[in-house]
Amino acid sequence: MKVAEQFFPIPDYDLSSTLNGGQAFRWRFVDGMWHGIIGEHWVRLKQVEGGILAQASAQTTDWQWLRDYLQLDVDLAGILRTFPSDDPALQEAVRCCRGLRLVRQDPWECLASFILSSTKQIVQIQQIVALICERFGKPLAAPEDTKIFSFPSAERLAACTEQELRDCKMGFRAPNLLKTARMVASGEINLFGLHHVTMEEARNELIKCPGVGRKIADCVLLFAYGFPQAFPIDVWILKALRQLYFPKRKPTTHKLIRFSETHFGPNAGYAQQYLFHYMRTRPQITLK
């Protein structure tokens, strides 16, 4: 197999916690490499000394799509310095998964994936996403004999029946994904436009989609639009915030939203991802 190969020198980039940490759902670890699809590119990434080794199709000469996705130009150390210094729990979470990053995803793929995420475990979300890609995605030129597909466009999903989507095991989320796909395909929601408005305006637009509330909107704001202060509060973060910061009381999600806006600073979204990963990988330490 002929492939193009490129080395990206970068410190503090942990592929495992980044690609398998519940931000994106199409990465698989095979024979020591992370296999993924970004737009219409297949790619394989390997964690090596001092950076990341990437393989892509042989005709690849421009790697900017990968640099953008991995956010290689982000100054992680600078971001970590904006975290509150008087927060031992957060500092411990950072020590525990140093090199965890946020990637920059396609808004439609991110929105659709997180509509499928509600009350599902990450493994199941991965399975559902894999099914809709196989069935409704565009076949892509693949290395060796593997079959790979793009993430299905909003237009393609908009043309599905609700039953076709239910057959991908998404249950009650099917009508939400279908209606949202139709809103995006028709232009009723303009996902491209949200790059140029404030976070609050973008959130208000996203929440118009059925099946999209505050939490899912914040995931899209953080993982696709790159608003670093977006702070999605799911059940794990809810537990973390209550146990770490309010062990006596039991504040509501609304109160915790207020707390997160002031406590974590301009990169609250990164702090959220560290706490999320910390809770999921070491729930028994200090927190239970």
Partner DNA sequence: CTCCAGGCGCCTT
Partner DNA sequence: AAGGCGCATGGA
Looking at 12-20, 43-51, 129-137, 230-238, which segment touches DNA (CB under 7 A)? 230-238
- 172: tokens are 């009650």
Residue closer to DNA, measured from CB, 17 or 60: 17
d(Cα 247, Cα 241) in Å, to the nearest integer? 9
DSSP letter for each residue of 94-124: HHHTTT-------HHHHHHHHHTTTT--HHH
* Cβ 141 to DNA shortest distance, Å: 30
d(Cα 18, Cα 70) in Å, to the nearest integer? 9
Angle in degrees, CA 259, 261, 264, rounded to 5: 85
* Contact (CB, 8 A) for 278 and 271: no
**Catalytic site residue from 2, 138, 208, 215:** 215
Looking at 44-52, 140-148, 235-243, 258-266, which segment touches DNA (CB under 7 A)? 235-243
Residue closer to DNA, measured from CB, 57 or 118: 118
User: Catalytic annotation on 215?
Assistant: yes
Single out the residue of 117, 229, 260, 267 in contact with DNA (rule: CB under 7 A): 117
Binding flag, residue 113, DNA (CB under 7 A): no
Binding flag, residue 219, DNA (CB under 7 A): yes
Single out the residue of 169, 182, 242, 263 in contact with DNA (rule: CB under 7 A): 169
Binding flag, residue 216, DNA (CB under 7 A): yes
Residue closer to DNA, measured from CB, 21 or 36: 21
d(Cα 168, Cα 130) in Å, to the nearest integer? 9
Using a CB cutoff of 8 Å and minimum separation of 24, what contacts does 259-263 make?
260/231, 260/233, 261/229, 261/231, 263/84, 263/87
DSSP letter for each residue of 10-25: -SS--HHHHHTSSS-S
Looking at 47-55, 84-92, 167-175, 197-205, which segment touches DNA (CB under 7 A)? 167-175
Nearest to 98 by CA among 67, 74, 77: 77
- 277: tokens are 């990963």
Tell me, rounded to whole angstroms, the distance of Cα 236 from its chain centroid.
15
The interface mask with DNA, positions 126-165, x = CB under 7 A, is -x--------------------------------------
Single out the residue of 63, 236, 245, 259 in contact with DNA (rule: CB under 7 A): 236
Binding flag, residue 237, DNA (CB under 7 A): yes
d(Cα 134, Cα 171) in Å, to the nearest integer? 18
d(Cα 253, Cα 261) in Å, to the nearest integer? 12
Single out the residue of 7, 29, 172, 246 in contact with DNA (rule: CB under 7 A): 172
* Cβ 235 to DNA shortest distance, Å: 4
182 burial (CB, 10 Å; 0-12 / 13-18 / 19+) is: middle
* Cβ 67 to DNA shortest distance, Å: 22
Binding flag, residue 103, DNA (CB under 7 A): no
Binding flag, residue 71, DNA (CB under 7 A): no
Binding flag, residue 88, DNA (CB under 7 A): no
Q: Which residues bind DNA (CB under 7 A)?
A: 21-23, 114, 117-125, 127, 166, 169, 171-172, 176, 207, 210-217, 219, 232-237, 252, 254, 272-273, 276, 280
Q: Which residues are catalytic?
A: 215
